[in-house]
Amino acid sequence: MKVSSIQLYRYELELVHPFQTHAGTVKKREGILVEVMDMEGRSGWGEGVAFSTPFYTGETVETSWTMLQEHFLPLLSANPVRHPSDIKDILSVFQQNQMAKASLDMAYWDLYAKQQQLPLASLIGGKREAIEVGVVLGLQDDISLLQQYKHEGYQRFKLKVEKGKERERIHQAMEYVPVHQLMFDGNGAYGEEELEHLQGLDDLGLMMIEQPFPAGDFYLHARLQSKMETPICLDESITSYHDVRQAIALNSCRIINVKIGRVGGISEAMLIYKLCASHRIPVWCGGMLETGVSRAHNIALASLDHFTIPGDISASKRYWHQDVITPEVEMRQGKVTVPTESGIGHNVNKQYLQQRSTDIYSYII
């Protein structure tokens, strides 16, 4: 792969509605978009999905920006990339910083697919023409919105909840959607002292409970899963293929949420996907309040056969007054169409992106 330059855009977009979790409220989304350009003028796009503060992982927009500029781009310049999977190996000399790594990995995969004149989905083995999608309700959202979302065709409903009030919110939700399509996200907010409390929610018959304990605590998740019929799903705990091996070996979960940004890119996500498929662990694709660039990559990943649970891939208009891509991602009757154009199948509106960027950095390879 011959690359001529890489451009970083530090953007800021206002959400249509503020999004609230136990850790706080997000009103504006700051992030990083990466453009990798080749000699023929083609561009591949990736996204760094870290948040402004380290409430989800230790990585932030600021740390990602620094790592990209000062470490990752110079290293890529010194080590030729022949295939997108090389990014993972080249950057492995640096610890962590998965979201910054993923932004480059994604951009190279998009560019490579365009160079091969193939849709990214088919390039990585995706078979589906459309994928079923789910939706997330933040703490600020009225539970009655579920009626609208069910009418629109969403297939899975994730709730943000307050500790101690989960049953109340879930019972309210059951007035609008069936319980087997419901789950709640713990966001790592629970501790060992709440094992019995969580076990007491088993009778609800939920689709799953996502990441009740802090990231990296495979032990507590294994203890809880051994006492519950409800599947435990790991999210923040999964940052690599190795994490998945541990989770499977310890029986810490029965479902895994795969986020491209959280695991370091498509290359690592594919390894995780194959491992889960071989162990018959269902997977689904999570979301990060990202722009259409990352959303398009998620669609490609979720087109793989073993992604059997509807992902967090809502329509662009659910989050943004204007997305940075054209055409924007649309949802019809609970499904999103997998693009057939080369690469991620969407163009980036660079004029709009530049308007929304607080900083732009160019690097010649």
Q: In what order do the strands lie in the sheet with 157-160?
A: 135-137, 157-160, 182-185, 208-210, 232-234, 255-258, 283-285
Cα-based distances in Å from 139 to 22, 25, 147, 357: 8, 9, 17, 29
Q: Which DSSP state fits 71?
A: I
Partnered with residue 125 across adjacent β-strands are none
Q: String of b and e for 12-28 (b: at least 16 CB within 10 Å)?
A: ebebeeebbbeeeebee
- Phi first, then psi, for residue 186 (nearest 5°) are -80, -20
Q: Which run of H or E residues covers position 30? A: strand 24-38
Catalytic residue of the set 88, 101, 114, 259:
259
Catalytic residue of the set 101, 160, 165, 335:
160
Closest to 85 (Cα-Cα) out of 266, 343, 274, 244 = 266
> Max alpha carbon distance in the chain (Å)?
60
> Does the annotation mark 160 as catalytic?
yes
DSSP state letters, 263-323: HTSHHHHHHHHHHHHHTT--EEE---S--HHHHHHHHHHHTSTT--S-BS---GGGTBSS-
- In sequence order, the 6+-apart residues with CB closer than 8 A to the CB of 76 are 6, 87, 90, 91, 104, 365
Sign for the pseudo-dihedral over CA of 199, 201, 206, 208: negative
- Phi first, then psi, for residue 294 (nearest 5°) are -65, -35
> Does the annotation mark 88 as catalytic?
no
Q: Which residues are catalytic?
A: 160, 259
